[in-house]
Each structure stands twice: as structure tokens, then as C-alpha cells.
Amino acid sequence: MIDRCRKLTVVLVASSALHLIACGALQPAIAGDLDFFGRSGNAIELDFGNLAGVPSGANFSGLSLSGFSGHTVRTSSELQQGSFASDGRLWVFPNPTRDTPTLGDTDPAARGFQGTLNGSLLIDGQPKKFSATVRPGYTGAGTGSVGQSLESLNDPANNRLFVAEQQHRLNYFGFVPQGGGSLVVDGVFGANTDEAVRTFQAAFVAGINTTQASVDGIVGPNTAGWLNAANAPTWEELIDPDPQVPGTFSVAGAIGDFDILPGRDPGTNARTGNTPQPERFGTSWAHELWRNGSAAAKTATSITQLMNAMSTFDGYGSSAAHSTHRVGMDIDMHTNSSTHNFGDGSTSRAEIEVISTAVAYIDAGASAGSDSGRIIRIITSNEDIYDGIRAARPGTALYLDPSSVHTHHLHLDVGSPTREAGVADTPGDFDFDDAVNGFDFLTWQHGVTASSLSSTELAAWQSNFGASPALTAQLASVPEPSTLVLLLCWIIPVARRRKQRSSGFVRNAPLAGVTVSPGACGWSCTWGLF
């Protein structure tokens, strides 16, 4: 409730006004009485007790979540943050596996779920509809980022809200417990959460022979920092963009930059391509290194690389055959069969090609961006190859395995990149569409932002108005500034009055008159809120 006169003056150059109209402010979409926004990788808070016009001591009941089917919603009572009946707080955790149009996802190209979910509740007995619109991405700093207070397995001091945020972010990134499956987002740090946390931790620790047993499973500042990092790893299946026809696989028939060695067919034990390689999973960092290194190696040697093994779908399953392949940061790379020996002191052409391939991966990791891993060690049992790599790249750690285990492939240990700080949402982008425009003013005015109807949030919106990654592309044709400003001054009052009729809690008085005047840097539109 705005209880005193405020003046809002927005100075718009023609490009900013064009941006507002291009974003569709002429046709605001109102899904319910109360419209909230958040990101797919975040715990999205809906704080009904903080809404403008909701009196202190209000009662919240009759919560209906039928429109949230397949997604997780936890109240303050469930997460031990208070009592929902008296504070009206809940959190939405969008299910990242509901990422297809048939399951309601409106942006299948983006990671996780995007779309609008609808529910209802009673506030002091008055029925209210609400919606939560889920935008792409995740927040790495400030509101929406993952919190921590040293959560760990079965610790009674765990903060349940923080645990739920951690569980949801791990789900969003694709990290799973032993045996697979998504974590239940319930705020309880049990065995499954511990297993997924350990795989995630071991990925960013990424030392030589690191496994889940090498880390502590405690979500402290470093682990939370990586959960919020702009370049956090995801757990993924490696996809061959141009695979051989199933049933016809052969090493000699490898095509493209790389192929994936198939699994063995049941019964025949043959590798025909009908059975997928079970160890084809790993971190996005390792996959990016593999793709970049394979492309560089193909250019250098004209040879298509063959990936023998990474990790199983959960990481843990690799322990049977590859005890160190459990965290998606190890790659076994096939080598020419003529090099499957200990070496004889004379470097053959095939060995030179293996050396050149190894150098390509080393260099690809060294020059890649922050979303790629890097080579921290290579293992081989062939001394000729070992000597060749050492001579070409003396700064790379190598291990000459005296056994025959690494005669038929190179083992690549992958290290993590330098962590990039988490990114906060743009101040004033209240609907999380990555553009600060007229829709954000309406969202602020409807009182559903973190600090309902605060002057600080309004100032942030004013300061960042027009910010958008796509703004430059929208300036191909610029109408007359005066026309645009007149449209703007008409859009917001009309949209505001529409919303007033749809909501019983945000009750601002009618707008005062609108004035338009030219300024030194553009046109200004001024209206009063009383």
C-alpha cells in the first residue's frame, strides 16, 4: 500500500522506449491475481505475507497446488522456517526433468523446466489465485543463490531451507546419488544427498584419482561457491553428433571428430553399436575438453578419436572396472593397436600420431575457456609415447604404468577450471526475463517482489531501465521519440488499472495526470502515484 505521494520520473531516449514496446508492454499477460517469477535452477520464494495490503497477523490456508503437479513445493512449516499459516511463505522447486513440451515446458532448448504454474490459497478467508512463472537459468549471487551453513549428512543443525536449495541445484545440474534418480527436495540431508554432493565436490576438486571418498560431503563456502558459480559443472551424457549406424560399428569406420566405443552385446560379447557404452557420462568440463581436443587432434592427425570410457550414469557404477572413473573427470582414449605394447625405444609413426593427439588435448585444455576442463595428468604403459609427450609438453604430469593396463589406451586425468563468481540478477529485472522494461515496473507495482513496493527496488528499476542483451538488435528502426513516450505514458496507467481490477490486495489510488516534456538528453514522462 503506497501511503504517501511519490514522484516517478523516467527519462527515455528513443532506443529505450523502443525496447519497452518491443518487449510487448502493450499486452501484459496476467495469469492470476498474484504473479510471481523466478528461475529454473533457483528455489523460488512466494511470500504471501509480504504482499502489499496483507495485514500483519493474516491467516493463510486452503493451499491448492494442483497446477504444480510434478514439481516440488515446500512451505515454511515443512522447511522449519516458520509457520505457513501465519507467515504465508513457500518455495517452489521446478522439476528439471519436466523439460519437454508435453510436460509443460515452454522452452525445451533451455536447461530444466520453463513455464507457468498455477495455484490458489485463502488469505484471511479470501480466495486468491497465484502463478509462478519459471524463467531459464540460475542465480549465483544475492537473492536466489544457494545458501549454506556447513550442512552435512544427518547433522541436526542443518538448515532445511539451505539443504533444499542445495538439493534442487544438484538436480538442476544433473548430479545424482548412487543408483541414479533425482534427489527428493525435502530439506533432509540424507544418504542420497550426501552421495550427490560428494560427486559434485570430487568434480571440482578434480585431483588425480579423486573419488567420492576423497571429499568430506560438507556443504561449506567452497562447495556453495561452486553450486553458485557461473561455470559450475553439469553432469551429462556424452553425445556423438555423427555416430556410426547401429549394428555396423568398427574402429576402422570411425567418422567425425570422435566416436564412442560401444558396449558389448549380450550373448555375443561383440561391439556392434547396438549396445551403448555404459561409461559415456561425465561432467560438462570433461566433455568440453573431449570435444575441443578431438577437433584439434583431427586437424593435426586426420584421425577420428575413439572414447573408450568415462563414467557410468551415476559415477559410482564405474568402480567395478574403473575405480578412478567415478566422478566424470577421467577419460580413456583408444590408441592404434600397433602401439599396444611397452615400446621398443624407437618411435613409430603410429606412436607419433598418439603423441600428437595427446598434445592436441593438452593444448585444447590450456587454451579453452572457463567451461572446459584441462589435462592434469596422462597415463600410458608405452614408454615411447611417454617420452614423446614429455619432450613435447614437459610441464604436463605423466605416469608410466609398468603394468599392461594402459597399453591399449591413454588415460586422461581432467582438472577443473578456475571458478567464476556467481552472477546476480540485474537489479530491477523483477520478472527475470533478462530485460529491465515496463513489465518489471508492473511486477514491482503488484507488490510481489522481494521488498514489496520499496523505493529501493523502484530506484533500481529506474537506474537499469533498458538493460537487455538484445537491445542493440532492436534499434534497426527508431520511431519518433515523442510518439514513443506518449505511448509509454499511456501503457503503464492502463496496465496498472487493469491489474487493480484483478487484485484485491494491491489497491493504489488512481494515477494523477501525465505530463510529457522534452529534455536535453531525450523526452521525459512524469506521473504521480498517490
Residue at 105 is within a domain: yes
Residue at 518 is within a domain: no
Phi/psi for 368 (5° steps) reads: -75, 170
Q: Domain holding 56: CATH number?
A: 2.60.40
Residue at 7 is within a domain: no
Residue at 435 is within a domain: no
| Number of compact structural domains in the chain | 3
Tell me: do 81 and 184 sit in the same domain: no
Tell me: do 175 and 115 sit in the same domain: no
What's the pTM value of the predicted model, to 2 decimals? Answer: 0.85
Tell me: do 214 and 298 sit in the same domain: no
Tell me: do 192 and 271 sit in the same domain: no
Residue at 90 is within a domain: yes
Tell me: do 123 and 243 sit in the same domain: no
Tell me which of 206, 227, 248 is where a domain ends: 227
Alpha carbons within 13 A on the beta-carbon side of 475: 12
Tell me: do 164 and 74 sit in the same domain: no
- Centroid of chain to Cα 10: 34
Tell me: do 40 and 106 sit in the same domain: yes
Residue at 515 is within a domain: no
How confident is the model at residue 1, as a pLDDT?
Answer: 38
| Domain limits for position 53 | 30-141
Tell me: do 257 and 212 sit in the same domain: no
Q: Which residues contact 193 (CB under 8 A, 6 or more apart)?
A: 153, 163, 166, 167, 170, 177, 183
| 413 DSSP assignment | E
Tell me which of 415, 445, 475 is where a domain ends: 415
Tell me: do 170 and 310 sit in the same domain: no
Tell me: do 200 and 331 sit in the same domain: no
* DSSP annotation string for 445-458: HTT-SSSTT-HHHH
Residue at 259 is within a domain: yes
Tell me which of 176, 207, 227 is where a domain ends: 227
Query: And the C-alpha cell for 410?
Result: 591413454
Sequential pLDDT tens for the chain (530 residues): 334 333 343 444 334 433 443 444 433 343 458 999 999 999 999 999 999 889 999 999 999 999 999 999 999 999 999 999 999 999 999 999 999 999 999 999 999 999 999 999 999 999 999 999 999 999 999 999 999 999 999 999 999 999 999 999 999 999 999 999 999 999 999 999 999 999 999 999 978 989 999 999 999 999 999 999 999 999 999 999 999 999 999 999 999 999 999 999 999 999 999 999 999 999 999 999 999 999 999 999 999 999 999 999 999 998 777 888 999 999 999 999 999 999 999 999 999 999 999 999 999 999 999 999 999 999 999 999 999 999 999 999 999 999 989 999 999 999 999 999 999 999 999 999 999 999 999 888 888 888 878 889 899 999 999 887 544 333 333 333 443 444 444 444 444 444 443 444 443 333 333 333 444 333 344 433 32
Q: Cα(329)–Cα(127) distance, rounded to whole angstroms?
A: 52
Tell me: do 245 and 350 sit in the same domain: yes
Residue at 380 is within a domain: yes
Tell me: do 253 and 197 sit in the same domain: no
